[in-house]
Structure 1
Amino acid sequence: MLPAVVPAAEGGGEGFETPGVANFWWPLFGGDGAFAFTRPALVLLISVALIAWFFVGATGKLSLVPSKRQFLVEGTYNFVRNTLGRDIIGSKDFLQFLPLLFTLFTLILVNNVFGIVPFVQYPTFSRLGFPLVLTVIVYLTYHAVGIKRKHGVLNYLKSLVPPGLPTWLKPILFVLEFLTYFVIRPLTLALRLMGNMLAGHLMLLVFILGGEYLLLHGDNIGLKGAGILSMAFSVGMTFFELLIEFLQAFIFTLLAALYIADAVSEHH
């Protein structure tokens, strides 16, 4: 986090610096350029190593009576398999997409939870580049599946317009459906995840840094009391943010499954 206290513009006192987008750009080395290695990149690499260690270790020694670790792995897998895979895509086609859905859910969830983990406290997907990469993977997957199922690009584009419509309505609907499938879906998928993680982290920063500033630099009991309330509220916000982090991982994976289900279906 950036310091909450900075020199004031006038006088020799100190003032409160409002958290902003600079709190999300932490280059570790490589300068401030496009190829800098940043803290979110490090957090993402740590999350990949942590997920691999956890799941490989848990599945390497399976037992009839599961350990707590095995129970958590099986519960997560069954949740993604049944709720986000089979129930959305269908029992006929979901298995081939299960590795993608499981990877999306666990990777997003772990990186979101890092936003409230002490000494990390950084939601990786508050940086647009990370959800954008996952969105591109989902985007290419459901379009490739749709093209394969519809036997070619032309038939895939034709399927965007349902049969039986008046001739004059078909061009209008085609444009709307094309924008939905090729522009709006990927944009909203990436921006929804990024926006929620960015907003949640900024709110926590405001209440934590603001409470710290009021508590340490408030010149009367009222301001110090407001600082205590702000810090207490930040604790409650942390638990609420944990719920949001889970929901955002669920929603991203759910939408990916819905788009894939749409692509494998016979009719849009």
Structure 2
Amino acid sequence: MSPNMVSADLVTTIVASGGESGFETPGTGNFWWPLIGGDSNFAFTRPALAVLLSVALIAWFFVGATGKLSIVPTKRQFLVEGTYNFVRNTLGRDIIGSKDFLQFLPLLFTLFTLILVNNVFGIIPFVQYPTFSRLGFPLVLTVIVYLTYHAVGIRRKHGIVKYLGSLIPPGLPGWLKPIMFFLEFLTYFVIRPLTLALRLMGNMLAGHLMLLVFILGGEYLLLHGGNIGLKGAGVLSMGFAVGMTFFELLIEFLQAFIFTLLAALYISEAVSEHH
């Protein structure tokens, strides 16, 4: 019997054991959770609630930890100081430079902590929703980063005309300058903002979908599997979901780090005299 025939028989068995509908695979619909307003464009959704909760949680945690500082830090103070020093030294000073990084440190610290907490929400029980899998949220952060980036660039170049002129590398022949200006303008004003937002959204969306497939698929096989083989596959799927959860935690940290790192890199270009 060919592998295709075996796969077809397995699918038939799974569908038949679940009735007429069979197993419904997770999709983008699993990311739309309206709490108030239903299908309206102005609905108050679960990710909106998660963002508000994350802001309250971050404010409570950091304000509470810094309100009573001690020479021998508590675990909470140690975590706050470690996070701050990581963003300050690794993402601020080392990328932007010791001369200019302090003025951008609040932005970088806010970006990192906000993205990290909302990403981790994707594996927290009773929340289990990565907020930044909804494009609107990373897009807003990207707009903030790029408004900062271009505002700094325009200020450093003493006007928008000189700033736009700096997009053209010196020494190019005249016929090549319009082409280079168009490509650089496209890169700095369109491609970079889109890729910054889409990278974060795509990774959170894909990771959460993968977890949903293993968890819901494993649950379905355990409850509706017609034989011991399918139920065993369900147990294996659920176990694999647990392992993937730890891997997803690493991805969630990396995506918060990469977004903030790229924001720092772009700002460092704006403050550089050579840009």
TM-score class normalised by the smaller sequence? over 0.9
Counterpart-to-counterpart distance in 2, 1:116 and 1:28: 20
- 2:92 aligned partner: 85
Letter in 1 for 2:228: I
Give yes or no for the alignment of 1:245 onto 2:252: yes
| Deviation by residue 1:168-189 (Cα, 9 ceiling, x = unmatched) | 2211111111000000010001
SS in 2 for 1:28: strand
What is the deviation of 1:165? 1.6
Partners of 2:157 and 2:130 in 1: how far apart? Answer: 39
Which of 93, 96, 107 in structure 1 is aligned with 2:103? 96
C-alpha separation in 2, matches of 1:259 and 1:31:
39
Structure 1 residues 218-227 or 245-254, which shifts more? 218-227
Q: Residue by residue, what CA displacement relative to the aligned partner does 1:135-188 show, whole Å, maximum 9, x if unpaired?
A: 000010000000000000000001011111222221111111100000001000
1:5 corresponds to = none
Separation of aligned partners in 1, 2:37 and 2:230: 41
**% identical equivalent positions:** 89
Q: Which residue of 1 aligns with 2:40?
A: 33
Aligned mates of 2:36, 2:170 — CA distance in 1? 56
Q: TM-score, normalised by structure 1?
A: 0.95
Question: Structure 2 residue aligned with 1:140, among 139, 144, 147?
Answer: 147
**Counterpart pick for 1:67 among 74, 81, 97:** 74
> Please, what is the CA RMSD of the aligned residues?
1.3
Alpha-carbon distance in structure 1 between the residues aligned to 2:94 and 2:174: 36
Partners of 2:227 and 2:30 in 1: CA distance: 29
Corresponding residue number in structure 2 for 1:163: 170
Point out where structure 2 has 5 or more consecutive residues left out of the alignment: 1-14
Residue 203 (structure 1) aligns with:
210
Aligned counterpart, 1:179: 186
**TM-score w.r.t. length of structure 2:** 0.93
Q: C-alpha distance in 2, partners of 1:257/1:127?
A: 23
- Quote the offset at 1:12 in angstroms: 5.1
Q: Does 1:190 align with 2:197?
A: yes
Q: Which residue of 2 aligns with 1:231?
A: 238
- 1:124: which partner in 2? 131
CA distance in 2, matches of 1:134, 1:14: 40
AA aligned to 1:130 is F
Distance in 1 separating the partners of 2:163 and 2:260:
24
> Matches of 2:72 and 2:192 in 1, distance apart?
43
- Within the alignment, does 1:212 sit opposite 2:219 as a pair? yes
- Which of residues 53, 60, 65 in structure 1 aligns to 2:60? 53
CA distance in 1, matches of 2:86, 2:19: 57
What is the alpha-carbon distance in structure 1 between the residues aligned to residue 40 and residue 146 of structure 2?
Answer: 28
Output aligned runs, 1:11-30, within 5 Å.
13-30=20-37
Distance 1:94 1:114 in 2: 29
Q: Secondary structure at the match of 1:16?
A: coil
- Give the 3 Å change call, closer, same or farther, for CA 12–70 of structure 1 in structure 2: closer
Moved over 4 A (4+): 11-14
One-letter amino acid of the structure 1 residue matched with residue 122 of structure 2: G
The number of equivalent residue pairs is 260
Shift of 1:225: 0.9
Q: Secondary structure of 2:22's partner?
A: strand
Q: Distance in 2 between matches of 1:214 and 1:32?
A: 31
- Describe the SS at the equivalent of 2:169: coil
CA distance in 2, matches of 1:253, 1:54: 21
